[in-house]
Structure 1
């Protein structure tokens, strides 16, 4: 098991280095000069040159990459061109919103998907199964930003239960949770539809195994065999989807955060791209890549916790 963990950690480090090279190369090939963009088209050349020097844009690309990568290793992501504050402070402030939003959406999607996935598998070929499959297909097909606007119309404008947008800060926890509820629901429902379908398929495949028939022959009811044996052994694909969903909810909430005017990490990326704040874009994308790779690593560890055979192989 220790050798398996060491191999996974080495693979994680190699993936991060490769991702940093790709991110830096893609960002640097974007046409235009950030200093000239910040100062405007009528800026004097010496003023642009001075700003480029202060931003560290006048050194070679390998030196800029080395400075950027070395700074990230010690937690220094540079200074934002636009906000004139450390990028680490910007990211920390936005993560205080995006992480709870992603976590709340993941909890909601799991709480919705598990019971309906179990119901569809237990009633395979009957009307509850058809109802669940039809509902999940609709949940996958409907764009989450369109569903978000429907939530705003219904629960914010018509019934006035939740705010239509904005974030009041964590000084008022209940108000903050109310502000994150509609965005979390808009993010959670499509993910719940995907998770429910995966869980149903995994459970149906597991229910056909010999050990399930043996458990039934020993006197277990269908519900007991489903929850005690089948569910645990069907969790491998479910854990994969959960890991992917958390990464998506953290990195892919740009549209939802803009619909609800939530000042999270996705909205920060959107603003940095429009303002050509390259250091912010590079750093935030790298942090998101690290989050995706870390979640994948933790998912692999969860595999070993769920399936003892993987620990033996490790």
Structure 2
């Protein structure tokens, strides 16, 4: 079995540990909080693996997979002999730079070094290490243990071999990698996600609708199509002559709405507080963990449905 190292045992890091353990890798997990973080990580991993088992999506016993995850006491111990290292520490370039300095010092020279950063270009904190051609961003969707999409983005120094090795490793681990051709802040998913969220804040902030209305538009509207079809294919299927015909007829409206959207909307703390209050009345803090568990079960149910009705064109 190959060894993967996970640096950072928070929500993302421990989910990565599940991904690699399910794929058959030995996983060494390190966090600066050590025992405290390790206990939470193993408990969360067991819960996630049990969810997979309950949904018929785990081929081995929960404890067999969980036994592959070993908390360790240092970065050096975590990355020794690792073929792949996934960093998931605080979203701060200086912190990540320090972590990768230590990782690169102790990891094998041919190990792939990857960051889970959500928005910081890898060139800002990966270019200084020894052998920078082996380092890249591997940005997941939270939680990566349940959502397979992952974005691979090189730094300008990253070799094509590293990109291809990472793409293959991710595919074999059950993930769905896409490869960015060049760096951009936020990569692809977060640029799309937060552009939509910004316009949602505008619509709510200016009184066009409520936060609940926005969520309904997504869950009972757009998401029902987007779960199987991306926006380009949605448009292609919404016209008898395909995408070109759709744009020929609706292009002016598309441009008008795009130009009038307020992705730079200057929302206020009061508006956020009001939206939070509405959510808190429905999902108080003590219910968040229960609601997260419900969310996770729905994600796996949707994944099962997609597997059972596989895309014949994929």
Query: What TM-score comes out, normalization by structure 2 length?
Result: 0.28
> Which structure has more RCO (C-alpha within 8 Å, separation ≥ 6)?
1
Query: Whose Rg is larger?
Result: 1
